[in-house]
């Protein structure tokens, strides 16, 4: 009897594991807040770009206000192309501002983000390739000035 109990316990332990409960995480990039945030960042970037030459302090304030939006957009596992473009535009603008203020190393860091972003982006399009080349040119510009 005791042997039978032990044998039954062993056979039960060798059975298949119960199925795991599957929990599908929602795609945050499809949430309404996500596209709204990308649109808001795009608008802020355009506004800052328009103010850059006449009111550089206001443009800088807008770029600063956009940083939390960038973090929020990039916090999702698979950002959308629209979000990446909005982030890229803001980083490009910020890098240009730093370059203009002779902060070459910091500007290079932002341009390097764009280089990495567009090097890894799939699928490649004429626009993503244009952005990639723009990042390469901006990095080269920084490197010409570093050490001055």
pLDDT digits (tens, 9 = 90+) for 57-111: 999 999 999 999 999 999 999 999 999 999 999 999 999 999 999 999 999 999 9
Count how many domains the chain has.
Answer: 1
Whole-Å CA distances, 58 to 24, 87, 108, 144: 43, 19, 23, 28
Is there a domain that residue 22 lies in?
A: no
The burial of 124, by beta-carbon neighbours within 10 Å (0-12 exposed, 13-18 middle, 19 or more buried), is given as: exposed
Domain span at residue 131 reads 30-145
Q: What's the confidence (pLDDT) of residue 23?
A: 75
Q: Which residues contact 88 (CB under 8 A, 6 or more apart)?
A: 114, 117, 118, 131
Ordered DSSP codes for 85-113: HHHHHHHHHHHHHHHHTT-HHHHHHHHHH
The arithmetic mean of pLDDT across residues 2-15, rounded, is 60
Is 70 exceeded by the pLDDT of residue 2?
Answer: no
Is there a domain that residue 1 lies in?
A: no
Is there a domain that residue 4 lies in?
A: no
Is 60 exceeded by the pLDDT of residue 55?
Answer: yes
Residue range 10-44, pLDDT digits in tens: 556 555 666 776 777 889 999 999 999 999 999 99
Whole-Å CA distances, 71 to 31, 66, 68: 16, 9, 5
Q: What's the confidence (pLDDT) of residue 7?
A: 54
Is 80 exceeded by the pLDDT of residue 8?
Answer: no
Q: What's the confidence (pLDDT) of residue 18?
A: 67
The three-state secondary structure class of 15 is: coil
Is there a domain that residue 69 lies in?
A: yes
Is there a domain that residue 3 lies in?
A: no
Q: What's the confidence (pLDDT) of residue 27?
A: 92
Is there a domain that residue 89 lies in?
A: yes
Is there a domain that residue 14 lies in?
A: no
Task: For residue 26, give both structure tokens.
Answer: 């929602």
Residue range 35-51, pLDDT digits in tens: 999 999 999 999 999 99
Is there a domain that residue 113 lies in?
A: yes
């Amino acid at each position: 009897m005791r042997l039978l109990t032990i044998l039954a316990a062993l056979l039960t332990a060798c059975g298949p594991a119960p199925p795991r409960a599957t929990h599908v995480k929602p795609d945050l990039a499809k949430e309404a807040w996500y596209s709204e945030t990308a649109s808001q960042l795009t608008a802020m970037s355009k506004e800052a770009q328009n103010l850059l030459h006449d009111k550089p302090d206001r443009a800088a304030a807008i770029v600063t206000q956009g940083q939390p939006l960038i973090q929020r957009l990039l916090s999702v596992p698979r950002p959308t192309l629209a979000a990446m473009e909005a982030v890229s535009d803001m980083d490009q603008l910020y890098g240009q501002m730093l370059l203009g203020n002779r902060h070459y190393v910091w500007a290079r860091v932002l341009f390097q983000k764009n280089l990495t972003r567009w090097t890894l982006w799939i699928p490649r399009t004429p626009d993503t390739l244009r952005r990639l080349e723009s990042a390469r040119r901006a990095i080269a510009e920084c490197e010409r000035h570093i050490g001055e």
